[in-house]
A and B are shown apart, each in its own frame.
Chain A
Amino acid sequence: MKSVETEIRFKLNGREVCLTVPVTMKTLTMLRDKLGMTGTKYACGEGECGACTIKLDGQTVNSCLMYAVDCDGRELVTIEGLRTPEGLNPMQQAFVDHGAIQCGFCMPGMIMQADTLVENNPNLTREEAQRGLEGNLCRCTGYTKVLDAVDAVVEAKKCCGRC
């Protein structure tokens, strides 16, 4: 279907972006097809699986449901934006260290969600992590190692006092 286009400006992983999008385009399509940022994954396209999870003004959302026009004036972080100058961020590294990744398709969304959970609650319990990750489906790992990785990040942050 044809629809009018509009210009939007937002911050993506710390950089200003300005582009024109059809007003019904979803943020996921904009990221992948317009901006070539293919880290964020498309799986169900209807909010059920969390593969497309991104951070928007500090909170996670399903980018497959979010209208790109609604990014205007806001701040987005995708999996590409987690990387630090030193390399993987602690959550990414913990997933690697704990063997929490198998095929990896769910992982960009899973890690965005896990990272945000810990960021918003440095004392996250395993049960809270489990509840917080309810919107992220993984057909490979069985979740146990995912939760181990999240636990490890919470513990590490506690002992080095960086939180």
Chain B
Amino acid sequence: MQEITTYLAPRRLDEALQAMADGAATVLCGGTDLAPQTESGARQYTAKLLNIRRIEGLGGIETKGDKVRIGAVTTISEIRCNPMLAEIAPVLVEAAEHFASEQIRNAASVGGNLCNASPAGDMIPPLLILDASVELACWREGAVQTRLIPLEGFFVSPGKTVKRPEELLTAVVFDRPAADFVGKFRKSGPRPALEISTVSVALGACIADGRLSNVRVAMGSVAPTPLRARHVEAALEGKPLDAATWAATIAVAVAATAEDAKPIDDVRASAWYRGHLVRVFVEEVLNEVRGN
């Protein structure tokens, strides 16, 4: 077992990245995943413990032009209570609303939720339908280097991402959604609070001239990583909202879920039940989007 020999709580990003450059730092943000995982032995610390919550400029929610930027250490509570997000990306606020408990939301960060890379991470499907990217930073050749990775390509497997050990996730960014974009989120668990999602579905689309366009569908807990449901998206793209064809549109989209969702049996639910929930949720969110 590794002994922690250094603790750092830097105020500047470049200091943090220099400390991470050897790839031997364990990043601590809200600790709501790190604490239980290390206590249970599921995860080991490395030689350095790096608290990123004191780094200036790593928090906050802001818009610049048509870009929206949410800093990595922004808490789920901050997202839940942000009036600007409520206006331009209410689907994120909705997901924050149903996240754990108030005590957890006050500590948990969006960056931690993404880096923990759980198939059930609740902020992930809404960010996927916003077509978000993550900003990764590291210290190389005497300077801070950053790269932007589409969130869809960020996750590799449960707990694994393409982020390198020397990289810090600094922000999640997305384009301000079009005025006619509607997004909805559904998660399920045996009780409404403090529940790891058995299945989650987010669906977003632009609604113009009575048709769906730019349809984006994302799912959690139906595969090793959260995913974009490309088959369901294709089944819905360009479809009209009129009453005559709506039931048929739903049926095609629901059928397409079988192509995207490949759930497993585990302690929380059977694969069969997950497949069923996905179908129900797709129908529900579609009706909500149409009703909007």
Name A residues whose Cβ lies closer than 8 Å to a Cβ of B: 1-4, 6, 23-24, 26, 45-48, 50, 53, 56, 59-62, 64-67, 69-70, 72, 113, 117, 131-132, 134-136
Contact = CB atoms under 8 A, between A and B. Distances in A.
Given A24-B4, A24-B45, A60-B102, A67 B35 contact: yes
B7 interface: yes
Question: For the side of the interface on B, what is the size category?
Answer: 20 to 34
A64 B6 CA distance: 22
A25 B228 CA distance: 39
Give the 9 A-B CB pairs with smallest separation, nearest first.
Answer: A135-B101, A134-B193, A3-B4, A23-B7, A59-B106, A65-B35, A62-B103, A135-B103, A46-B36
A113 B51 contact: no
A65 to B, nearest CB: 4
A70 B51 contact: yes
Nearest to A2: B3
B45 A72 contact: no
B39 interface: yes
B102 A3 contact: no
A135 B35 contact: no
Contacts of A60: 102-103, 106
B3 A1 contact: yes
Nearest to B97: A131
Chain A CB count within 10 A is highest, among B4, B36, B102, for B102
Contacts of A23: 4, 7, 49
Nearest to B44: A1
Contacts of B35: 26, 46-47, 64-67
A53 B103 contact: yes
Contacts of B39: 45-46
A66 B31 CA distance: 6
A47 B49 contact: no
A59 B102 CA distance: 9
Given A24-B38, A47-B36, A67-B28, A134 B194 contact: yes
A23 B3 CA distance: 11
B180 to A, nearest CB: 31
Given A3-B45, A61-B103, A69 B32 contact: no
Contacts of A69: 7, 9, 49, 51
A135 B28 contact: no
B112 to A, nearest CB: 12
A61 B107 contact: yes
A135 B5 contact: no
Contacts of A113: 102-103
A135 B3 contact: no
Given A47-B32, A47-B104, A69-B49, 6 more contacts: A4-B5, A23-B7, A62-B32, A70-B28, A132-B102, A136-B101
A87 to B, nearest CB: 27
B234 interface: no
A78 B106 CA distance: 16
Contacts of B104: 47, 62, 65, 135
A135 B102 contact: yes
Contact of A50 (B4, B6, B77, B103): B103
Contact of A4 (B6, B28, B53, B103): B6
A24 B193 CA distance: 28
Contact of A134 (B28, B53, B102): B102
B7 A4 contact: yes
B149 interface: no
B1 interface: yes
